[in-house]
Chain A
Amino acid sequence: MLHDLLIAPFQDFEFMRRALVGTLALALGAAPVGVFLMLRRMSLTGDAMSHAILPGAAVGFLVAGLDLFAMTLGGLVAGVVVAVLAGLVARGTELKEDAALAAFYLVSLALGVVIVSLRGSNVDLFHILFGSVLALDDAAMLLLASVASLSLVTLAVIWRPLVMECVDPNFLRSVSGAGGPVHLVFLALVVMNLVGAFHALGTLLAVGLMMLPAAAARFWARDITALAAIAVLVGMVSGYAGLLVSYNTELPSGPSIILVAGGICLVSIFIGPVGGILRRLIPARHLEA
C-alpha cells in the first residue's frame, strides 16, 4: 500500500524518475543560492531575474523552436544583460535598484510573451511559462545536473569571501579585492540556476525552488551552513512530494512542487523553532541569565 503510494509511480514510469532526478538536482544547486539571496535581502532580485530570462529564451524559441540549447543560451544572455543593466541604472540614476529591476522584469515578461506568440501556440506559451518537469529529455537532465555541480563547486570556492561580503563588505574591501568579482560570480550563479530551473518549472515558477526552501530554512536554523543544508533538504522533499501529489491527483506537476514548498514554508513560519509564530504566541518562561 505504502509502496504503491510512495515508490511505485517512480518504479513504473521513466518520466517520473527523470522528473525526480531533475528536481533533486535543481534543489541541490538552487537552494543554497536562494539562502544567500535571502540573507542579502535580494529575494525580489531573484524573482525579477527569473522573469528577465524570458525574452532571451523566447528569442531562442523563435529561432530554433523548443530547442534546449538555443533557449538556454538566450536565457543566459538575457539574464546577464538585465542584471548588469539594472545595476548600472541603479548606480547611474536616481532610480533605486528594486524599482529598476521591477521596470525591467515587467517589460521582459511582456516582451517574452509577445515573442513566443509570434511563432508558437498557446501550448508552447504554457510550456515556457510553467515548464515541463515531466518531459525532461537527456539534454535537459544533463543541463540540470551540470548546473547543480557547477553551483556547488563555485559556492565552495567563493564561500568565505561571499560570507564576508554579506556581513562586512568594508572589511573585505580592506583586506582583499575579491568583493566585486565575488558579487558578479554570485549573480552569475543566480542566472545559471534560474535558466536551469526554467526548463523544469518555467519562467514564472523557476525562482520557487530557490526562494521558498530558503525562506522555510530561516525558521529552523541560525547558522549559515545549516541554513543551506536545510534549504536543500526542503527543496528535495518538495520535489519528491510535489511529484507524488501531481501523479495521484493529476494536477500540473510544476505548480504542485511549488505548492508543496510553499506549504512547508507556511508550516515553518508557524511552528519553526527560530522565531516561528507559535513560539511567540506561547512564550516559555524566561531564563535566569
Chain B
Amino acid sequence: MPSCLIVDDSKVVRMVARRILEDLSFGILEAEDGKGALTTCQEKMPDVILLDWNMPVMNGIDFLRTLRSSENGDQPVVIFCTTENDMAHIREAISAGANEYIMKPFDRAIIEAKFSQVGVL
C-alpha cells in the first residue's frame, strides 16, 4: 500500500483529504506543519506528500526546499494543495521541486486527476 503524508494545519482539510486518499488505497500519515512533516519524513519517507503552503512553524515551501536537499528527499512525489492560487506561487512551487499543484478548494475528481498525472494512481 503506497503511503501519503498529508501536511496541513487545518484538521478539516486533513480529514477530507484522508477520506478521499484512503478510498484510493493510500496509507495515510498526517502532519500539521512543515516541521512535523520533516520529522515524519526522517522516520520513514512517504511515497507521496500532499502539502499546504501557509502553515505555522514551517511553511510548505520551506519544508519542500529542506526536503529536496536532504538525503532521499528527491524520492517522494510532492503535490502542493493550497489557497495560493496564482501563477507566481505555482512557478515558485514547481521550481522548488513540487511535482504537481492543486488549487483549493479541491474535490475527489481533482485529487484523482492530479495523483493520476504524476503516476501514483
Do they bind each other? no
Which residues of B pack against A, CB within 8 Å?
none
